[in-house]
Amino acid sequence: MPYVNIRVAGTLTKEQKAKISEGVTAVISKEANKPPEAVLIFIDEVERDNIAKAGKLLSDN
């Protein structure tokens, strides 16, 4: 069973999550030759205060 973990800075709408899930499932299913019902996706929304790039918090940009 393929597991996919997607982490994003900030939040996504329910509609965005649904579209991302559909697209990722389609690609994994096709390329890994797995049935769509075998693909499990986790979407983690991380506050921008908890992510840094080049030594700066994303929330400061």
Catalytic site residue from 1, 2, 45, 52: 2
Question: Could you confirm whether 2 is annotated as catalytic?
Answer: yes
- For residue 4, the one-letter residue type is V
Q: How far apart are CA 2 and CA 41, in angstroms?
A: 8
The residue with tokens 């986790």 is 42
pTM as predicted: 0.86
Give me the domains of the chain, ranges plus CATH numbers: 3-60 (3.30.429.10)
pLDDT value at residue 4: 97
Per-residue pLDDT reduced to its tens digit, 11-57: 999 999 999 999 999 999 999 999 999 999 999 999 999 999 999 99
